[in-house]
Amino acid sequence: MDVFRISGGRPLSGTVTVGGAKNAALPLFASCLLTDEVCRIENVPDLSDLRYMAEILRFLGARVEQLAPGVWEIEARNLSHRAPYDLVRRMRASVCLLGALVGRLKKAEISLPGGCVIGPRPIDLHVKGLARLGCLITTEKGYLHVDAEGARGKSVFLGGRHGSTVTGTANLLMAAVLTPGLTRVDSAACEPEIADLCRHLVAMGAKIEGIGSPTLLIEGVQRLGGASHRVLPDRIEAGTYLIASAMVGGDLIVEDVRPEHLGALLDKLDEAGFRIEAPSHSSLRLSPGGSCQPVDVITLPHPGFPTDLQAQMATLMAITPGISIITERIYPHRFMHVPELQRMGADIAMEGASAIVKGRSGSLSGAPVMASDLRASAALVLAGLAARGETWIQRIYHLDRGYERFDAKLRKLGADLERLPDTEMPADLREAD
């Protein structure tokens, strides 16, 4: 397994181009199963999660080919309705196949995804949505069996105790576009990745109104055709680079960004004292605007502050003088980065689903740390870039799931960071796996 070695304290300068959004590309791949015609998806990030999704689609019977970097063609003529445990367990996001199989084949058998390091991740709302359409659903031996032969459009309220559900909305959409009648989804997720999926579905012939809003109206059609779609830029990758820039300074331009998708982050960075400029309509640059202030953050469904940037923001607050409170409303247990940041010198106390961060400039010093999930790992990289001395990060395969060429991009911007086989990590720094 590879590790990162980072020598902190270097500013980041130059231009970094953001890739396509992982969390849009995954359901977009699944949506290609809704037709027997050819679909083409462009701007697909080169990530292990996407390569794995391609493998699952092939297992189900689709032809999946990468034509050029970022360009994939998917053709699902014959399709199996069963997604087995050994495929689904490796990637939780594969649950987004459920809606596609239900829509296209009117039946699905999919292994229930297990828990996840960021906390419990139930799919009760996905099930509730499909059941509301009249699907017959049973659970047996760890599999969800769905019979959608009698399904008809209905009104569905999809909100739960943590707000809307992103993949639950994607699943209901993909089932409803090929279900007769009018489906109305209230408390639908408004994440840009859902709007992106809707646009692809519309290009395939689906009838959807209210795209981007919490109320979606879907008029079922008999069949969908092939289409081409370009995946929207990854707002979380963009946000991660902006926070990195806030932490280490320099002159960094983040290119291929939709600022309108980053409103909550940009507002918090502004409140924290950073100046944000837009050198062009699709790029952003951050510069210090005087003294930096601590800010409180609460994660919420879009357009609120994204949970996927919480760990990175907590890391910025660890070196910003003063006290800030970072509260998780989406995944109350998503604080695996905290013990690792504490090992690097951060002063953070946990109080329920809130991290109380006592920020201090220069508080971070390099240490050997362990990556746990994708965004916690990104936060450790940012901490390593800002820390004094050397940081070693183990289990970086988490990063490869969601940040395209993270090490290469950061190196190009001036970071002193390398990817090494773990055998090159000093043995006394290695933690037991």
**Separation between Cα atoms, residue 55 and residue 124, nearest integer Å:** 26
The answer to whether residue 167 forms part of the interface with ligand EPU (CB under 6 A) is yes
Please report, as a single letter, which amino acid is at residue 106.
Answer: K
Q: How far apart are CA 343 and CA 379, in angstroms?
A: 13
Residues in the chain: 433
Neighbours of 305 (CB within 10 A): 24
Question: What is the C-alpha to C-alpha distance for residues 163 and 181, in angstroms, rounded to an integer?
Answer: 26
CA distance 334 to 61: 36
By CB under 6 A, residue 331 contacts ligand EPU: yes
Q: How many residues bind ligand EPU (CB under 6 A)?
A: 24
Question: Which of the residues are catalytic?
Answer: 116
Cis status, amide bond into 303, omega within 30 of 0: yes
Q: Applying CB under 6 A, which of residues 330, 341, 364, 396 lies at the interface with ligand EPU? A: 330
Q: Does 166 bind ligand EPU (CB under 6 A)?
A: yes
Q: Which of 123, 172, 254, 286 binds ligand EPU (CB under 6 A)?
A: 123
Q: Answer yes or no whether residue 337 interacts with ligand EPU by CB under 6 A.
A: no
Minimal distance, residue 431 CB to ligand EPU, in Å:
23
Could you say whether residue 124 binds ligand EPU (CB under 6 A)? yes
* Listed ranges 77-85, 161-169, 239-247, 424-432: which one lies at the site for ligand EPU (CB under 6 A): 161-169
CB of 156 to ligand EPU, least distance (A): 12
Question: What are the structure tokens assigned to 12, written together?
Answer: 């980041």
User: Does the footprint of ligand EPU cover residue 84 (CB under 6 A)?
Assistant: no
Q: Tokens at residue 366, please?
A: 């390099």
144 close to 137: Cβ distance less than 8 angstroms: yes
Angstrom distance (rounded) from CA 114 to CA 136: 22
Check residue 135 for interaction with ligand EPU (CB under 6 A): no
Separation of CA 416 from chain center: 26
Interaction of residue 375 with ligand EPU, rule CB under 6 A: yes
* 214 lines the binding site for ligand EPU (CB under 6 A): no
172 and 189 Cβ atoms separated by less than 8 Å: no
H-type alpha helices, 249-362: 263-271, 310-318, 337-343
The letter for the amino acid at 38 is V
Helix (H) or strand (E) holding 229, with range, is strand 228-230
Q: Does residue number 89 form part of the binding site for ligand EPU (CB under 6 A)?
A: no
Whichever of 122 and 212 has its CB closer to ligand EPU, that residue is 122
Residue 9 CB, nearest approach to ligand EPU (Å)? 28
When the beta carbons of 262 and 292 are compared against ligand EPU, the nearer one is 262
Segment near ligand EPU (CB under 6 A); pick from 3-11, 144-152, 166-174, 274-282? 166-174
- Provide the terminal-to-terminal Cα distance of the chain, rounded to the nearest Å: 11
- Per-residue x/- marks for ligand EPU, 28-57, CB under 6 A? ------------------------------
Task: Rank residues 122 and 263 by Cβ distance to ligand EPU and give the closer one.
Answer: 122
Where on the chain is the footprint of ligand EPU (CB under 6 A)? 23, 26, 93, 120-126, 160, 162, 165-168, 189, 307-308, 330-331, 374-375, 402
